[in-house]
Chain A
């Protein structure tokens, strides 16, 4: 039963997340920025299913409207990491030997620095904000994708069928376009799916540290940061944005692992 339950749950969650990101007004008609001081710190009720925050803003509306920012930054950051990392991985695996050596060393160096440390340094240099957070997380994830693709492409390039095609006189471009690229892109797809989930968590971490989007705009990490101050008497301010992050990241992880399993068979 669990075999189909978890992918089904993941798919349903992802549909809901996509809807919240693209058309938030359908799920939460209230204004996420409308302040109502009289209604501050209301616990979850029928009128406010997720409660209200310190300014009386509806938290359901803020969580739903925050989807676009959190998921958008996560997707954009992953795109940066996958495109640049993938390209570097291909260059390292197929290019001249000295390029491979230099890049391998570089990846290794970058790997010694944890993601959040790289992102912190980037934010320190360029200042906070949504764009900065996107770039910071994107850059920090490059070495992981690059290493993965490099190893994958090297394995494929050394495999029997590529050697066969080479002996058959296929030009390098054909080898690359018909054999190497398609076979190495599949793991990149699953890695990117997993990566979006991870990036959403990292972006929220930057938001939590006060280095993400600017305050009034709803974003899950920033909402958690705001909720931290009132953790003692307004638990809903922390729990609901946090659950949104966990649900989205879990669904993406389940989907990514499914894709990875499909590719390995």
Chain B
């Protein structure tokens, strides 16, 4: 029970942080987009629009642009608080309608890719971990090579190659046609999105697993007569998965980054393309709406990954909850864990702080 209530406190803290994230994001986007251009231009159809002064005056009044900027800012915040977001400048449609049409496809795409990335990373890591002897060494070297290339391959390139091979070449899956619906059109975009994240997760799983395998608790478990799969399932894997779970929020965020590219490449409707198109025409309400959704999704995934981390952590509730709740805000991103494992009262595995620094040092994307 105590474990649950600690999690609840951590969740509440995260929600408070989420409100802060949304507020700061909205403020920065509002100020930046307003300071750098006239919103009226976007409303009237971009630069060089032929609209007369009456139309301009009408639009100014309709969008509340005759109010002082501070009042407009407050109105914008109020619209965010009520999740209305106002009307799109360029598309003359409520932003909430645009979001309702564009968020679900991206959410489906990113979530499927997230699941596939975890499945690939786990499968690859376990295959390499279970193979012993000479075959095992080759498998591990191969896995390292594959995960390194996978973690850097740009989605726009991978997607293009997949289209070349599986859509134009073999004709197994369609490259486009998301509008018609159906799962076949999802296959290539999901793989494209998942592979780089899978490569990264595999890298983060691989090191700690090797380390946990050599640790005293694994040796003790083996000495007690546990077989290899039991050691893996009950001891080493749970330990090794923690850094990767902590990075899941980041991973999901990078999937949303990737969604922009993948949606353009595969001509899919979605949040990424909506954001790209709105940003290029300075459609302030749409940009703010899309960015707020992205930030909220990140926070949501962070909360879930923190709960999962607490449940998986073999060190039990206390150390895990202390890490989740006690240090609060500055840990939420997960990446920079080296300072934290020191503060958690020496709960970390031997040498885990070094591994985490290595993993954390790459968290710059």
Binding site for B on A (CB under 8 A): 2, 6, 81, 104-109, 111-117, 120-121, 123-126, 141, 144-145, 147-148, 150-152, 154-155, 158, 187, 190-191, 194-195, 197-198, 201-202, 204-205, 208-209, 211, 221, 224, 227-228, 231-232, 235, 238-239, 242, 245-246, 249-250, 253-254, 256-257, 260-261, 264
Nearest first, the 10 A-B pairs at minimum CB distance are A151-B336, A144-B364, A242-B157, A124-B279, A116-B257, A114-B257, A249-B152, A151-B339, A2-B141, A114-B253
Contact in complex: A205, B261 (CB < 8 Å):
yes
**Can you list 9 contacts pairing A with B, beta carbon distance less than 8 Å?**
A6-B144, A111-B298, A114-B256, A152-B339, A152-B357, A155-B338, A231-B168, A239-B161, A242-B157
Q: Render B36-49 as a binary contact track against A, CB cut-off 8 A, 1 for contact.
A: 11000000000000
Give which listed residue, A81, A106, A108, A253, contacts B152 with CB less than 8 A.
A253
A257: which B residues are within 8 A, CB to CB? 148, 358, 362
Question: Is B287 positioned at the interface, with any CB of A under 8 Å from its CB?
Answer: yes
A116: which B residues are within 8 A, CB to CB? 257-258, 260-261
A231: which B residues are within 8 A, CB to CB? 160, 163-164, 168
Contact in complex: B152, A197 (CB < 8 Å):
yes
Given A113-B25, A148-B363, A187-B361, A250 and B148 contact (CB-CB distance below 8 Å): yes
Give the distance in Å from the alpha carbon of A134 to the alpha carbon of B88 in the complex: 29
Contact in complex: B336, A114 (CB < 8 Å):
no
Contact in complex: A246, B154 (CB < 8 Å):
yes
Give the distance in Å from the alpha carbon of A253 to the alpha carbon of B147 in the complex: 11
What is the minimal beta-carbon distance from B39 to any residue of chain A, in angstroms? 13
Contact in complex: B168, A190 (CB < 8 Å):
no
Give the distance in Å from the alpha carbon of A158 to the alpha carbon of B330 in the complex: 17
Contact in complex: B335, A144 (CB < 8 Å):
yes
With A2-B145, A117-B256, A246-B154 known, 4 other A-B pairs at CB within 8 A are A112-B299, A125-B37, A148-B364, A231-B163
Give the distance in Å from the alpha carbon of A209 to the alpha carbon of B264 in the complex: 8
Given A109-B25, A231-B163, A235-B164, A125 and B338 contact (CB-CB distance below 8 Å): no
Question: Is B241 positioned at the interface, with any CB of A under 8 Å from its CB?
Answer: no
Q: Render B110-151 as a binary contact track against A, CB cut-off 8 A, 1 for contact.
A: 000000000000000000000000000000010011001101
Instruction: Considering the complex, give the chain B residue whose CB is closest to the CB of A254.
Output: B148
What is the minimal beta-carbon distance from A31 to any residue of chain B, in angstroms? 26
Contact in complex: B362, A112 (CB < 8 Å):
no
Instruction: Considering the complex, give the chain B residue whose CB is closest to the CB of A127.
Output: B36
Given A109-B24, A253-B152, A148 and B157 contact (CB-CB distance below 8 Å): no
Question: Is B323 positioned at the interface, with any CB of A under 8 Å from its CB?
Answer: no
Contact in complex: B291, A117 (CB < 8 Å):
yes
A204: which B residues are within 8 A, CB to CB? 154, 156
Given A205-B261, A231-B164, A147 and B336 contact (CB-CB distance below 8 Å): yes
A6: which B residues are within 8 A, CB to CB? 144-145, 148
Given A104-B329, A197-B152, A250-B152, A147 and B21 contact (CB-CB distance below 8 Å): no
Q: Which of B152, B160, B256, B264 has the most CB of A within 10 A?
A: B152
Contact in complex: A253, B151 (CB < 8 Å):
yes
Instruction: Considering the complex, give the chain A residue whose CB is closest to the CB of B261.
Output: A205
Question: Is B354 positioned at the interface, with any CB of A under 8 Å from its CB?
Answer: yes
Contact in complex: A242, B160 (CB < 8 Å):
yes
Given A109-B21, A249-B152, A148 and B261 contact (CB-CB distance below 8 Å): no
What is the minimal beta-carbon distance from A188 to any residue of chain B, in angstroms? 8
What is the minimal beta-carbon distance from A114 to any residue of chain B, in angstroms? 4
Question: Is B102 positioned at the interface, with any CB of A under 8 Å from its CB?
Answer: no
B264: which A residues are within 8 A, CB to CB? 208-209
What is the minimal beta-carbon distance from B109 to any residue of chain A, in angstroms? 14
Give which listed residue, A113, A144, A224, A254, contacts B294 with CB less than 8 A.
A113
Give the distance in Å from the alpha carbon of A108 to the alpha carbon of B91 in the complex: 33
Give the distance in Å from the alpha carbon of A122 to the alpha carbon of B155 in the complex: 21
Give the distance in Å from the alpha carbon of A169 to the alpha carbon of B280 in the complex: 57
